[in-house]
Amino acid sequence: MDTNTIAIIILISSFILLILLRFPIALTLIISSLVTVIYLGVPWAVIGQQMTQGMNSFSLLAIPFFILTGQIMSEGGLAHRIVNLARLLVGRVRGGLAMVNSVASLFFGNISGSAVADVSSVGSVMIPMMKKQGYEADYSVGVTIASAIQGVVVPPSHNLVLYSLAAGGVSIASLFMAGIVPGVIMLIALMTTAYIIARKRGYQKAEPVPKAEIGSVLLHGILSLSPAVIILGGILSGWFTATESGALACLYSFILAFGIYRDAPLRSLGKILIRTLRTVSMVFFLIAASAAFGWILAYLQVPAMVTDLFLAVSDNPLVILLIINILLLLLGAPMDMAPMILIMTPILLPVVTSFGMDPVHFGIVLILNAGIGLITPPVGTVLFVGCAIGKVSIQQGTKAMLPFFYALLIVLLIITYIPEVVMWLPNMLAK
């Protein structure tokens, strides 16, 4: 075997070994990269240089602002106002609370961009409410965790910013626009599934919002959704960059949560900042480690080898995309979302672009695959959080989530094989 082949074996085997030993993913990436460059005789300093270079991007500043905005909105008690707005819109349908759950998760995900934040905030309101109205606890958890996945696809999602970075600077505005229609299709699929289950189990309609409260519910709901409007409007209009829009949304959400509603005391801001700092530190360390790992992959020409391997299996794009989806779904079960995006993008993007797939289109496909992984055992973060809130076992939550899981798989196939679903709005933006 030649030097490159041995180096690839060392890189992959050390990565797998460290994962099995339960090393943190960022450390795993750095250690496996260091072991490989030592074998290759490349100076160690290259790893540090690549880690620094990977962090040298102005667009990355948007991530802390997006995360902080979501944390403020979650701590500020805005989830129940969003739930009331969703109840006003869809509550008067059979099984309406499940649909309210789906719509509220879409709305809140439109602010936080995080499935975990979504299930934590909306789930804390909706799961007890559904249980009180006679819904089974496991079903309440199932619909909540499945609905939370909308947050990773609909803008403004910091996961789309991560993909933009890993893909070499794909337009964030185009990615944000590309996530809108798939997000709506996900909502329709989840609501349809909820309606079918509601008819089968005899669930009733939700209690209507009193007429005297409709104006107040609309006003507070619109105010609570305004951070997403600020971010999207600023980016798509060209008035602000993603970072500037995130900063404005942060300021607005702070004023709304602590100046107008005051559901949380100002002293809780310290706790919010600490949580945000922890999350951002982990994300940024992971980005730096992934940059070094990605450099090693490129140095060893792994993406080109993977492309040749896929094309050797089949030259039919439909077959290749099916294989990629299966691979990503399998990887999504044990791997968290951010490392999956940062590791798999430089490997698989050359494969799909070799037969003409748009990087924006692939980004949405990758993000949805990674999002589905968040509700899939054994490392389904959203699944674990939802089950903890609903006080059900992982087995019960998984079984109740399956009908919605199948609905999400259908959506995945739609956005994979019908590019227009994803690319219609970005193409309009480009005109």
pLDDT at 185: 94
List, for residues 217-243, the tens digit of each pLDDT value: 888 888 877 777 777 777 777 787 778
Q: Six-digit token pair at 105?
A: 């998760």
**Chain Cα centroid distance, residue 73:** 17
8 A C-beta contact, residue 256 and residue 78: yes
Q: What is the mean pLDDT of the chain?
A: 84
8 A C-beta contact, residue 28 and residue 15: yes
**Is residue 378 scored above 80 in pLDDT?**
no
pLDDT at 159: 86
Q: Six-digit token pair at 171?
A: 């337009």
- Short-list 114, 242, 227, 119, CA closest to 176: 242
**Is residue 412 scored above 70 in pLDDT?**
yes
**Is residue 429 scored above 90 in pLDDT?**
no
SS3 track for 33-92: HHHHHHHHCCCCHHHHHHHHHHHCCHHHHHHHHHHHHHHHHHHCCCHHHHHHHHHHHHCC
pLDDT at 134: 80
What is the phi/psi pair of residue 71, to 5°? -65, -45
List, for residues 302-343, the tens digit of each pLDDT value: 888 888 888 888 889 999 999 999 989 888 877 778 888 888
Alpha-carbon distance of 201 to 198, in angstroms, equals: 5
**Chain Cα centroid distance, residue 381:** 12
Write the CA distances from 300 to 2, 30, 40, 293, 385, integer angstroms.
11, 16, 10, 11, 39
pTM for the whole thing?
Answer: 0.86
List, for residues 335-350, the tens digit of each pLDDT value: 778 888 888 898 899 9
What is the per-residue burial (b if ≥16 Cβ within 10 Å, else e) of 197-209? bbeeeebeebeeb
**Chain Cα centroid distance, residue 226:** 20
Host H or E run for residue 27: helix 25-40
Q: pLDDT-derived band of residue 416, with 50, 70 and 90 as boundaries?
A: very high
- Short-list 149, 107, 140, CA closest to 411: 149
Residues in Cβ contact with 94 at an 8 Å cutoff, skipping those fewer than 6 apart: 195, 198, 199, 203, 204, 205
Alpha-carbon distance of 325 to 308, in angstroms, equals: 18
What is the average per-residue pLDDT within 282-291?
85
Q: How many CB atoms lie within 10 A of CB 105?
A: 34
Cβ burial of 57 (10 Å; 0-12, 13-18, 19+) is middle
pLDDT at 48: 87
List, for residues 83-136, the tens digit of each pLDDT value: 778 878 776 777 777 888 888 888 877 776 677 777 877 788 788 888 887 888
Residue for token pair 């940059």:
291
Alpha-carbon distance of 144 to 382, in angstroms, equals: 9
Q: pLDDT-derived band of residue 206, with 50, 70 and 90 as boundaries?
A: low
End-to-end Cα, the chain, rounded Å = 51
Characterise 393 by phi-psi region: left (phi > 0), alpha (psi -120 to 50), beta (else): beta
**Is residue 11 scored above 80 in pLDDT?**
yes
Alpha-carbon distance of 304 to 352, in angstroms, equals: 12
